[in-house]
Amino acid sequence: MIKGYNKYEKLAEALEGFYTVRTLCDRLKISKNKAIYVIHRLRKIGAVKTSYGVNKKRLYYITIRNKQGGTSYTDVINNASPVTSYKLMEPAKPYFIHGRIPSYEESLVYAIKQKTVRYTIVSLALFRKISDWNLLYRLAKKENIVREIVALYEVARKFVRKIKRMPKRFLHLAQKDINGFKYIVDGISSDDFEDIEKRWKVYIPLNRADLEEYKQ
C-alpha cells in the first residue's frame, strides 16, 4: 500500500479499472474487510463509481478521473451492460454532463458515433433500456445513423434478452433512408450477419463470437 497524505489518490491512479471486492483483494493482497475499507476511502475522494454485472454483482470502477463529478455517457453505457468484460474504461478525455443524467437514447447514439468495435459491442445492451423511440429516431436522424441503429437492433435481438420491439414506424422511416452501403466501423464487415447487412446496407463490425458472453 502507498503511504502518505495523498496515498488514496495515488492508489486510484495505480488501480484504474473495474473490480469486485474479491478481485481487489487479489490485486492488493489484502483481506475482504480491508478491501471494503479501501473502497470506502476511495469513494470519499470521489474515485469510485458503482455498477452491476451478471446476477447484480456489484462492480467498482476506480479511477482518479471520477473526481471530476457529473455523469458521463460511459457511466450510462456501463450501467446498462450486464457483461463485466464488455464494460468500458473512460476515455483519456471523458465528457461529463452535470445537472442531469444522459438518456439511454443519447448514450446509444454516442456509442455508435465512437465508431469502434468495443463501443459497438457494448451498445447492444442499451436497446434493453430504450423507451422513447421517437427521441431515438430524432437523435439518430440528426447524426445520420438511422440505418445503423436498425441494423444493430436486429443483431441485439439475437443475443441480448428482454429487448422491446422497435416500432414499425421507425423501421418504415429507416427503409426510406437506404442509399448505398455504410460502415459502422470503417473497413470492418461481418461474416455472420450478412443478411442484416444486405437488408439495411450497413456493414456490421461484429461476428457471433464477439457477442457470446451476452448469452451466458
* 108: pLDDT strictly greater than 60: yes
Per-residue model confidence as pLDDT tens digits over 19-58? 899 999 999 999 999 999 999 999 888 888 888 776 677 8
Q: How far is CA 136 from CA 2, 11, 72, 159, 173, in A?
A: 46, 40, 18, 21, 12
**DSSP-assigned letter for residue 200:** H
Contacts of the segment 28-34: beta carbons below 8 A, 24+ positions apart = 28/1, 30/1
Burial 1-15, CB ≥16 within 10 A → b, else e: eeeeeeebbebbeeb
- pTM as predicted: 0.76
Please identify, in words, the CATH class of the domain defined by 1-68: mainly alpha
| pLDDT of amino acid 54 | 66
Whether 42 contacts 12, CB under 8 Å: yes
Confidence of residue 94 (pLDDT cuts 50, 70, 90): low
**What ranges do the domains of the chain cover?**
1-68, 71-215
Note the pLDDT of residue 5: 44
Mean pLDDT on 81-95: 77
